Amino acid sequence: MNVLFPIAEAYPFYKIGGLGDVGGSLPPALSKLSIDIRIALPKHPEVRLPKDAYQESSFEIIYNQEALSVNVYRAMLPESNVLTYLFEENKYLSKSTDASDNHADKFSVFSLAVATWVAEYSPYWQPQVIHCHDWHTSLIPVLLKHKHPHLDYKTIITIHNLAYQGITQTPVAKHLNLNPEECHILSWDQQDGEINIMLEGLLHASHITTVSPQYAKEILTQEYGEKIDAILQTKATTITGILNGIDTNFFNPDKDKLLFQNFSKSTWEKGKLNNRVELMKQHGINYDQHQILISFIGRVDPYQKGIGLIIQAIEDNVFPENIIFFFLGTGDPNLETELHSAAKNKPNIKIVTRFDEPLAHNLYAASHLSLIPSRFEPCGLVQMMAMRYGSLPIARKTGGLADTIIHNHDGFLFNEYNHKSMTEAIYQAIEVVKNQNKLYTTMVEKALDKDFSWKIPATEYKSLYENLILNQK
């Protein structure tokens, strides 16, 4: 079975967030199930071509009435046998994808390049299924349907985050030479002078998936539907939730080279303590061994991750002096400043605002608890990584967090997105770690035992591909 996997990020080539983790770890798991899966990735300026890379093809596309030349390099995704096609183009794809800008042109060019390449310039390898991800690649099903109607690819769009739909005033349909007369959806979408790129894709794709079963239900509601719930309801029978996995070899406390000390289920108590003591030393935090370490690792995002709740908690001294709270994350500059000023003169609060993969691993390994107060969470990978390293999540019961954490069993869940609900959960968790050693130990061991590998989700994707090919979905 041949599957093309166009995506904006794939670790280690390129990663901004969870999308990059999935882009780098799901394809190798699918390839182990004998699927010939190949990634298509923009050659962002940050991407370094590996030594084995070579140029496979080169062709022109027309975008906004201008001829652009595209080079396609092939290279192996490092430490895997997954072939990756890196699309190089000098005007749009060579721009960095910083968080502030709308990159409608960049990803429209990428989508056009992939659709044109697969339909016209890849005679020796053809996919049966094209598995797209998020708004960045959502125009691929649209372009294929309208520009290459004779080709019968099955297309999937996986929604990693419905909050980002690629809504833009850039007239990308015009730039792509998609005629609104033929594409009736485009014409009504464009009446307000904007186009919703993800919506166009969702309406054209053969199937839609979300990154957790719970999120598949939530997006059909007004609370989580990001203004397109009513339209998604009409597609409900073609939406499936498949839980993400993580690369359990890379995230493995027993082998992880980034840790000060490795540990397993039989050595976690000592191991986590030693990692904690060392980490505190490295960061100049005065630490006595009875203090509980709570961490937060994630994007500094104004809507999703509950940063507002965290700032309020710091300001209201929810973390008493015998608790260390360690925050690691980067994103919105104003929120970063607010975090730093809330933590001022509080020696037990540490704020580090940068992207730092090794520090993240060390924090998972060192901390007792991981705070994840998301307003919404399509899947969330942090809770899985935390549990893998024996750090118990304190998380809002939403999306993938609700699917992966069992309250009082391997973590702590709270229902309401507010200060009170979160604070109660934090205090309950602290109480368990501090005074209920037997329960705490059992919970950590249950967390360490959990299987967050791609093994099961990958088989679910495989049967979805098979069903689509057999035309059953």
Binding site for ligand GLC (CB under 6 A): 17-19, 22, 160-161, 211, 244, 377-381, 400
Distances (CA, A) of 341 to 118, 166, 303, 311, 321: 51, 33, 20, 9, 17
Taking the least distance from each CB to ligand GLC, the nearer of 178 and 216 is 216
CA dist., res. 73 & res. 41, Å (int): 10
Q: What is the token pair recorded at 159? A: 């929604």
Scored b (16 or more CB within 10 A) or e, 63-80 reads bbeeebebbbbebebeeb
The closest alpha carbon to 78, from 281, 250, 270, belongs to: 250
Q: At its nearest, how many Å lie between ligand GLC and the CB of residue 365?
A: 21
Q: At its nearest, how many Å lie between ligand GLC and the CB of residue 316?
A: 27
Taking the least distance from each CB to ligand GLC, the nearer of 359 and 381 is 381
Taking the least distance from each CB to ligand GLC, the nearer of 201 and 378 is 378
Taking the least distance from each CB to ligand GLC, the nearer of 160 and 350 is 160
Which residue blocks in 205-305 are alpha helix, DSSP H? 213-218, 229-234, 268-282
Angle of CA points 237, 241, 472, to nearest 5°: 45
Backbone angles phi, psi at 464, to 5 degrees: -65, -45
Q: At its nearest, how many Å lie between ligand GLC and the CB of residue 382?
A: 8
Which residue blocks in 371-412 are alpha helix, DSSP H? 382-388, 399-404
Taking the least distance from each CB to ligand GLC, the nearer of 116 and 209 is 209
Residue nearest ligand GLC, Cβ-based: 18
Taking the least distance from each CB to ligand GLC, the nearer of 26 and 142 is 26
**Helix pair angle (197-204, 104-120), 10° resolution:** 30
Q: At its nearest, how many Å lie between ligand GLC and the CB of residue 287?
A: 31
Q: At its nearest, how many Å lie between ligand GLC and the CB of residue 305?
A: 8
Q: At its nearest, how many Å lie between ligand GLC and the CB of residue 304?
A: 6
Q: At its nearest, how many Å lie between ligand GLC and the CB of residue 269?
A: 29
Q: At its nearest, how many Å lie between ligand GLC and the CB of residue 394?
A: 17
Element (H, E) at 83: strand 83-88
Q: At its nearest, how many Å lie between ligand GLC and the CB of residue 69?
A: 32
CA dist., res. 470 & res. 458, Å (int): 18
Q: At its nearest, how many Å lie between ligand GLC and the CB of residue 300?
A: 13
CA dist., res. 270 & res. 369, Å (int): 16
Taking the least distance from each CB to ligand GLC, the nearer of 244 and 370 is 244
Taking the least distance from each CB to ligand GLC, the nearer of 28 and 378 is 378
CA dist., res. 459 & res. 454, Å (int): 8
CA dist., res. 244 & res. 381, Å (int): 8
Distances (CA, A) of 401 to 68, 160, 244, 396: 43, 14, 11, 7
CA dist., res. 163 & res. 378, Å (int): 10
Taking the least distance from each CB to ligand GLC, the nearer of 161 and 348 is 161
Taking the least distance from each CB to ligand GLC, the nearer of 232 and 381 is 381
DSSP state letters, 416-470:
SSSHHHHHHHHHHHHHHHHH-HHHHHHHHHHHHH---SSHHHHHHHHHHHHHHHT
- Whether 2 and 125 have beta carbons less than 8 Å apart is answered as yes
Taking the least distance from each CB to ligand GLC, the nearer of 61 and 300 is 300
Q: At its nearest, how many Å lie between ligand GLC and the CB of residue 451?
A: 17
The identity of residue 102, as a single letter, is N
